């Protein structure tokens, strides 16, 4: 069950989740940081919006909703047990972007563990146990495979747990 926590500032009581299970924006506006989901985050990442909010003094944007003392950055999502695994290729990835994505997902399609492979052969593994998880873990649930595959830049497939574990082992050795 997704939390109605703002992925930018951590406000704990959005009227609805910022994004639904299909990745569609709510167009709700966070009363704390002022982010309109589907508008402000269409051109900037949540990380960029968070940094802008921090640099502006983390001020509450709503006169109707008093600050609640939550002014902490959002924590990791509440994750369930692993329910599926997927592999995705990004055909038009930039030089410094990952080309291959391997994700372990819970039933709500939040990534639990991820592996990213780059054009230069680098392979990196991350989870919410990573010190820099805010910079590397996805900021919302992964869309269903059929939605990903509608974009010709991507090809996404379900993979088995054994296939994911093999890639995870390679990425975490040494």
SS3 49: helix
Same domain, 43 and 92: no
Domain extent at residue 46: 1-74
107, part of any domain: yes
Same domain, 168 and 130: yes
Q: What is the side-by-side order of every strand in the sheet holding 84-90?
A: 123-127, 111-118, 98-105, 84-90, 154-158
Place 2 in a pLDDT band, splitting at 50, 70 and 90: very low
Last residue of a domain, one of 74, 93, 121: 74
79, part of any domain: no
Same domain, 89 and 166: yes
Q: What pTM does this model have? A: 0.63
Same domain, 5 and 67: yes
Same domain, 107 and 70: no
Same domain, 4 and 66: yes
7 to each of 32, 92, 104, 140, how far by Cα in Å?
Answer: 11, 27, 20, 8
Last residue of a domain, one of 18, 44, 74: 74
Last residue of a domain, one of 32, 50, 74: 74
Judge whether 106 and 161 are in contact, CB under 8 Å.
no
Average of pLDDT values for 48-75? 69
The number of domains in the chain is 2
Place 1 in a pLDDT band, splitting at 50, 70 and 90: very low
pLDDT digits (tens, 9 = 90+) for 98-129: 999 999 999 999 999 999 999 999 999 999 88
Same domain, 30 and 88: no
104 to each of 38, 76, 84, 132, 170, how far by Cα in Å?
Answer: 26, 15, 6, 18, 15
Same domain, 8 and 70: yes
Same domain, 56 and 100: no
């Amino acid at each position: 069950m997704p939390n109605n926590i703002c992925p930018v500032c951590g406000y704990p009581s959005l009227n609805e989740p910022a994004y639904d299970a299909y990745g569609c924006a709510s167009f709700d506006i966070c009363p704390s940081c002022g982010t309109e989901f589907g508008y402000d985050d269409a051109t900037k990442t949540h990380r960029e919006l968070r940094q802008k909010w921090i640099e502006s003094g983390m001020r509450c944007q709503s006169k109707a909703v008093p600050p609640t003392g939550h002014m902490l950055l959002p924590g990791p999502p509440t994750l369930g047990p692993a329910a599926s695994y997927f592999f995705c290729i990004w055909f038009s990835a930039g030089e410094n972007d990952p080309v291959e994505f391997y994700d372990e997902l819970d039933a709500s399609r939040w990534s639990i563990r991820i592996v990213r492979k780059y054009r230069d052969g680098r392979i990196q593994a991350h989870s919410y146990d990573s010190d820099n998880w805010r910079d590397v873990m996805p900021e919302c649930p992964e869309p269903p495979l059929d939605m990903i595959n509608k974009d010709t830049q991507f090809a996404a497939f379900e993979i088995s747990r054994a296939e994911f574990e093999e890639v995870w082992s390679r990425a975490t050795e040494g």
